[in-house]
Structures are given as structure tokens and as C-alpha cells.
Structure 1
Amino acid sequence: MIDVAALAVFIPTFFFVSITPGMCMTLAMTLGMSIGVRRTLWMIIGELLGVASVAIAAVLGVASVMLNYPNAFDILKWVGGAYLIYIGINMWRAKGKMSVDTHNTTAVSRYSLFSQGFVTAIANPKGWAFMISLLPPFISVQYSVAPQLAVLVAIILLSEFICMMIYATGGKILRLFLTKGNNIK
């Protein structure tokens, strides 16, 4: 079904792509720091569904459309960039201070967290670029596409989950460090 030599290249390649800081990993760390790892899992589930959607779309034709119509990819990059600007403006307007709120009274719904993860994954130009450029070459035309895609997407999702948990846990640990003693003034 899938060549073992190809998997030996695929797994570390996509783990490296996953562990590299980006929009989704930064969101996982921020939420891990502000609402904890357990609540961050809702965002992670949404992000994983978004990543799976992008991966499947990349293999099922978006890659060929975007390679044949580069303007479509440019539009996607601009939409993703606009979303990043929107997030940045909201963070800038939040008038944050150098402190960690130990009495977080803001309740964020599970649906809101899930949606935030999904939209962040779908609007992430880095995710689209990597899926379009890296995933299709690992699909062999000698075998049925569906089982190959299922295995590769499962590997991607496992890698993403592990990395997101590392970032979310790192955020929680950072919060504990910052709230201990006088580490923030």
C-alpha cells in the first residue's frame, strides 16, 4: 500500500512541519497559558479537522487547480494574511499588560474554541503551501488513493496533535512559572 522508504521520509518531514512555530502552534501555546491544556483540546480538535480538510483537498485537486491557476493561491494567501492582520489588530487593541490573570473569569465556549482552531487551520497559508507541495508526491498512482490518503492524513494528525499538546503544555508551564513568586512585575 505505502512504500516504507516513503514513510521514512514522510514522517520526519511532516513532524518538522508540525513542530515549526506558526499560527496554530502559537494559538495552542496562548490558550494553554490562558485557559489550560484540557480546554485547549477543543481548539486542537477543530484545528485537526481543519488540517485534515486541507490535506484531503490538497490531494483531491486543489493542488492541481492552484498550480494551474496561481492567482487562486494568491487569493488564499491574501485571505490568510488578512486573517492574521485581523488577529494582530484584536491583540493590539486588547490593551494587554505584562501580567498573568490567575482568576480567568472569561468563559470561552467549546464551540468557540473548536471554531477558532478550525478557522485558523483553514486560513493558514503555511498549511496550504505545505500540503499542496509536500503531500501529493507521497501518493502513489500504483495504489488506490483512499487508503494511502487515510494513512498519510492519520500520520499528519498524530504529528499535529503531539506538537499542539507540546505547545499547549509549554504555555501552561510558562503560566505556572510566571505566576510563581515575582517573575512578572
Structure 2
Amino acid sequence: MTVSLYDVSVPVFTRMLTNLLSIMDKAEANATERKFDSAVLANGRLAPDMIPFRGQIMIATDHVKGCVSRLAGHDIPSWPDTEETFDQLRARIQKAIDLLATTKRQDFADSDTRQVTLKLGGNDVTMSGLDYLNQRALPNFYFHVTTAYAILRANGVPIGKRDYIG
């Protein structure tokens, strides 16, 4: 079987977003147990100048929808970045998972050589689909999912590597 960019993106995104939902469940349960509002976690940061947890979720899901849409040659759906609560963030993650579920392997035909143009630093940068996935989409996705995990962990949520990897 030939491996397509579908095989190294859609299942990876789906698994990591599903794991993120489980981590959020543990975080909310921990907040309840410790008797504080999970909104504290939604707005948590690792540093004062850093994007909060909720922003990490928004950006991670933006990379998912952008990546699969670009590689499949589809329009990128527009989602407003208005989520503030854990329930709203979960719904956004689920929306991304649902988008992944509707993306078909055949949509990725020739996606490794499809030209993807991004606006980076105010300039248009064009690269192959393979370079886009490996050099932009996956690293950015993992950065934001890892940062979201780290924010929760730094706030005392009892999660570990198994929770992250699934």
C-alpha cells in the first residue's frame, strides 16, 4: 500500500485531538475535586506573554482545518475564535474531529506535490504539500497541543505522557 499524506495527517490529528478531549475531562474533574472553576484553566498560561490554554486549542484546531483543507484542495472553513469555556473548547475540538471524519483518503490524491501558498511574515510562501505538512502544519499542531498539555500540567492537573500519547 502506498502511504499518502492522508495517512500521516488525518489519523494523527484525530488521535491527538481525541486525547486532548480526554485530558480536558481529567482537568475539569480535577478542578471540581479541588473546588475551583475550570475557567481558570481555560485562561491559564505558562508565561505572562503567552497565549492562554483556550488560544492553544483554537490555534491547534485551526492548523487541523487548514492543513486537511489545503491538502485536499478544499476551502478552509471559517470558525470564529470565541470559545472561552471548556465546553465551548470541547465543541471546537469535536468540530475539528468531525471535519477529519469527512475527509477522505482520495481527497489527498497528489497532495504531496500540490502547491500550498501561505502568508508568512506578510509574504506569500509557496511549498509542496509534503513540505507544508512536515515543515509547517504538523510542527505547529504539535507545538500548540503540547503547550495546552503543559499549561494543564503546570496547573496541577494529574496527567502524564500516557494521557498525551493515548
Q: Which has the higher strand share?
A: 2
Larger radius of gyration: 1
TM-score between the two structures when normalised by the length of structure 2: 0.33
Q: Which has the higher helix share?
A: 1
